[in-house]
Amino acid sequence: MDLFSTLDIENSKYPYKYQTIYHFLKGLILDGKVEVGMKLPSSREMAKRYSVNRNTIKQVYEMLFADGYVSSIEGSGTFVAYSPKKLRLMEKSNKSFRLSDWGLRIPTDERRPSKKGEINFSGSGFSPDISLFPVEEWKNALYQATRDVDFLMKSEDYHIQGLLTLREAIAAYLYRTRGMSSNPRDIVIINGVMQGIGILSQLLINPGDQVIVEDPSFQSIQANFIAAGASLIHVPIEPKGMMVSDWNSRMVYVTPSHQFPTGHIMKLEERLKLLQWAKENNAIIIEDDYDSEFQRKGRPIEPLKVLDYEDRVVYLGTFAKNILPSLRIGYAILPSDLVPEFLKARNLFGEYTTSIIEQMAAANFIKTGRLERHLRKLNRSYTQKYEVFKHSLAHYQFDAFDWIDTHAGLHLFGSWKHSQTEYQQFEMECANEGVTWERADYYYNLPPSQSKVIFGFSHLSEDDIQMGIRTMSEVFGKIRK
């Protein structure tokens, strides 16, 4: 059988004939169906065979030659020059890449995979309700950014810290909504909070340094510190929140306005103690303003940064939840003295940050008041869903957990009130009924004696919340009989 006649050009997945012929011939070579040294048909013969122009075949042969699959001898023709046997021999060799000390320190994520249910209270990172996002208003902000595209042609309009108009918009927004006064010169646009944590870890931690973290807290944050060589001091949050002590450290990571995952709010007395500790120990405080914009009562809690007269707090924020999760725009408000060093460290991984068009759009979205209108809408919706959650607990007499009642955030944190054996049975049978959630045990340094849970509600409909709690109540009633 003529191998070259098996090509079906008309039903090819490639849009152009030269691509179809190229990948066909390349496949014959890689599959070992044509041997090294075999002469390929002439361009004239192949052109006639496939009903294409002779120049098309010449282009294909030139591509194969450039990739090393064939050789060409003037006046003699084109010959197969590659054998897949060489590749197979290479694949048999053993390889072991040597990791750096940093690479070896990266912790293995042993988190149990989340079970997916029809009603999944764990959501995706306790995500916002995307259906409430003002798509048309965001499009208008993007259109405005593209209409102003001439700013891209003026290099002086862009700074490696991020677009000045966005940094100015962030400073004004935080002053209006959080009472925080900040200078745009101290704001750096980053690709989310995790990038900020990674840069700070590399910049400020030496192997063996002790870093203070809340317990429980984000494992991904802790992993950054550990990879940089830090030894972690875990400070329990429960039952009354973080208690400041005389730690031997020069860095602390906190979520004071809405602690993750417990929801605790750091009291003013502890905030002042923390700032005093930082002053006495010449330390840096990393403040992650997690979820605090989502308030069910009153205005958001003032950030710790508002009290930072010593300029020792690094404030990290993001637009992932109040605009779009896929919009990787975050910001770091840094002590003035740290800005140049932070930029030097960040620029090792690339001078530029998130798309300038998206930065301009975000600035427009903030400056026109669209962001604050959107947040008011989100808070009304999330407050209603929270009330449905709490009402359903009472209505179905579902009393399996002790809940920490907070006024902010997109989830509730609870502690199982009964035996661990019953919890295991309860979780398994709820999953069988299509209702799942996330265990908070994973976020603790040492597993707690009673299972802790996180129930995200913001992404669910009110009907799903009611049905989920009704199902859990029914399952709970069965196992407690």
* % of the chain beyond a pLDDT of 70: 91
Confidence (pLDDT) at 212: 96
| pLDDT value for 202 | 93
pLDDT band for 354, please (50, 70, 90 cuts): confident
SS (H, E, C) 286-342: EEECCCCCCECCCCCCCCHHHHCCCCCEEEEEECCCCCCCCCCCEEEECCHHHHHHH
Which residues, 6 or more positions from 430, have their beta carbon under 8 angstroms from its beta carbon?
117, 436, 471, 472, 475
Lowest mean pLDDT, pick from 21-25, 152-156, 224-228, 333-337: 152-156
CATH homologous superfamily of 119-125+373-479 equals Aspartate Aminotransferase, domain 1 (3.90.1150.10)
Q: Is the pLDDT of residue 156 over 70?
A: no
Q: Select from 221, 240, 338, 223 the least CA-distant residue to 288.
A: 221
Tokens at 201, concatenated: 């870890």
In the prediction, which pLDDT does 470 show? 94
Q: What is the CATH number of domain 3-90?
A: 1.10.10.10
- Residue keyed to tokens 């999330």: 382
Distance CA 250, CA 338 (A): 15
Q: Give the residue, 90 or 95, on which the prediction is more confident.
A: 95
Query: Rounded to whole angstroms, what are the CA distances from 58 to 6, 48, 256?
Result: 20, 13, 68
Q: With contact defined as beta carbons under 8 Å apart, do 17 and 55 qualify?
A: no
Neighbouring C-beta atoms of residue 460, cutoff 10 Å:
21
- Higher pLDDT among residues 73 and 280, named by residue: 280
pLDDT at 145: 82
Answer with the residue of higher pLDDT: 96 or 323: 323
Q: What is the mean pLDDT of residues 463-475?
A: 93
Q: Out of 43-47, 199-203, 261-265, 439-443, give the one with best mean pLDDT.
A: 199-203
CATH of 133-369, one of 3.30.497.10, 3.30.1330.10, 3.30.430.20, 3.40.640.10: 3.40.640.10
Q: 108-112, 210-214, 397-401 — which one is most confidently predicted on average?
A: 210-214
Distances (CA, A) of 184 to 31, 303, 309, 441: 59, 17, 17, 39
Q: Which residue has the higher pLDDT, 123 or 243?
A: 243
Model confidence band, residue 230 (pLDDT cutoffs 50, 70, 90): very high
pLDDT category, 450, cuts 50, 70, 90?
A: confident
pLDDT of residue 225: 95
Cα–Cα distance, 404 to 104 (Å, whole number): 38
Mean pLDDT, residues 401-418 taken together? 85
pLDDT at residue 287 tops 80 = yes
Q: Which of 381, 382, 405 is closest to 393 using CA atoms?
A: 405
- Is the pLDDT higher at 321 or at 86? 321
Q: What pLDDT score does 132 carry? A: 79
Q: Determine contact, residues 333/288, Cβ cutoff 8 Å.
A: no
pLDDT at res. 467: 93
pLDDT the model gives residue 87: 53
Give bridge partners of residue 411 from the DSSP assignment. 456
pLDDT exceeds cutoff 80 at 109: no
* 246 backbone dihedrals φ, ψ, rounded to 5°: -90, 75
> Is residue 107 within 8 Å of 223, Cβ to Cβ?
yes
Which position has the higher pLDDT, 378 or 476? 476
293-323 pLDDT, tens per residue?
Answer: 777 776 777 899 999 999 999 999 988 777 7
pLDDT band, residue 115 (cuts 50/70/90): low
The helix-helix angle for 356-367 and 135-147 (nearest 10°) equals 120
Q: Provide the 10 A C-beta neighbour count for residue 104.
A: 9
Confidence of residue 189 (pLDDT cuts 50, 70, 90): very high
β-bridge partners, 438? 454
Question: In the chain, what are the domain boundaries?
Answer: 3-90, 119-125+373-479, 133-369
> What is the arithmetic mean of pLDDT over 239-249?
88
